[in-house]
Amino acid sequence: MKKIVLTGPESSGKTTLAAQLAEAFGTVWVPEFARQYLDALARPYTSADLLEIARGQVALEDEIAAQANGLLFLDTSLEVVKIWSEFRFGECNAWTLEQLLLRQPEHYLLCLPDLPWMPDSQRENPDNRDALLGIYRRELTSLGANFTEIGASGKQRFQNARNAVAALLKTDNQ
C-alpha cells in the first residue's frame, strides 16, 4: 500500500486535492478525523483531545485502507496532530510521536497556503499560515520525509499534485 499524505497549514486545499487525486487515480481517500471529532465536541478542545484525534485518525486510515487499490490518499496524518499539539499546547503525547514514526507514508504533498483563507468553525489561524508552513517544512525535513510542495490554484494546483503523484508512481515502477 502506497500512502500519500496531503499536509500543510489550514485552508491550503488539502481536502479538495485528496478527493480529486483519489478520483483521478481510481482509489479512496481518508478524511480528516479531527473535523468529525471537533464537530461533536461541546467544549473547547484540550491536549487530551488531540490524543483521541490521533487515535481516531489511525483507526479511520486503517479502516479505509482496506478499500484502496494499492494507493491511498490521506487528507492529513499524525504530523498535523504533532505540529498542532506543540503549537497549541507546547508538547505532544508519546503515543502520537511513536505512531508518527511507525506509520510513515511514501510521500507527502505539502500544500502551500497560497489560496485565499476560507473561514470555518474549526480554523484558527488566518494570519500566520506562512509561519506554520515553515513549521511543516521543518517537521517533514526532521522526519526525513519525501515531500513535494504543491502551489497554484484551481486546475493548475490539481495538475501539479497529479504530476507529482504520477512521477512518484513512475519512479517506483522502474
CATH of the domain at 23: 3.40.50.300
Residues 6+ apart with CB under 8 A from 19: 29, 75
The pLDDT, as a whole number, for residue 153 is 84
Residue-level pLDDT at 171:
80
How far apart CA 162 and CA 174 sit, in angstroms, is 18
Can you give the pLDDT at residue 173? 64
- State the Cα–Cα distance between residues 147 and 63, nearest whole angstrom: 25
Ranges of residues in the chain with a pLDDT under 70 are: 116-117, 119-126, 172-174
Buried b vs exposed e over 150-159: b needs ≥16 C-beta within 10 Å?
bbeeeeebbe
Q: How many domains does the chain have?
A: 1
Q: Can you give the residue range of the structural domain that contains 123? A: 2-173
